[in-house]
Structure 1
């Protein structure tokens, strides 16, 4: 459970970073939509069960709001639909969707909600949050 939380928190933070890293935070102020049409959520695990594992989620949505006057009031919200996980290996996909990992039948959404956004540079911020 803890590994899953840290993994998805990292994914969510990395997803948010391109918006922050592209331009100065003050110039990036505004609201942004995260969708599969223009974004991706991918993962990789080295040496899982003897070999590596890589995959992606086909369905997700989210938003980023950057507050120019107070970056600390900025928000990142991401929802991932775990039934959309894909590795290109049907057996692995079924295992990931099962109650051993995501339990997608009983937990149809994984949500990341930022609890703080802290400027760490002119073009970057550290996003921390809650994963449920």
Structure 2
């Protein structure tokens, strides 16, 4: 790990700690769950090439969703940025443009959150235009 990577990791750890202190431990647990989902679905495609899903859904009960979004922070973007840095440190390639979608859900199994990753095909604007017209 180079000096820049060590610095990035230290900053990431401080960000996680600050977020946990401000908003309980929930966001750090969600970040950890996202990272696990990414790691668990990594596929070795060749020497030095590891692909991971590019679309992640985070479902939260109303109270957790309200807590995370009440400051006006774009939680989906914060999670996307964090997952992107995690993948970069691990040398992963996403199967397309990365997106983390955060949504309310009334039926979360553990009562706190649910995280799922999948491969979502990239559709160019031109491809979308021709497919719909």
- Same fold by TM-score greater than 0.5: no
Relative CO higher for 1 or 2, CA cutoff 8 Å, sep ≥ 6?
A: 2
Q: Would you tell me which structure has more strand in proportion to its own residues?
A: 1
Instruction: Name the TM-score, length of structure 1 as normaliser.
Output: 0.30
Q: Would you tell me which structure has more helix in proportion to its own residues?
A: 2
Instruction: Name the TM-score, length of structure 2 as normaliser.
Output: 0.30
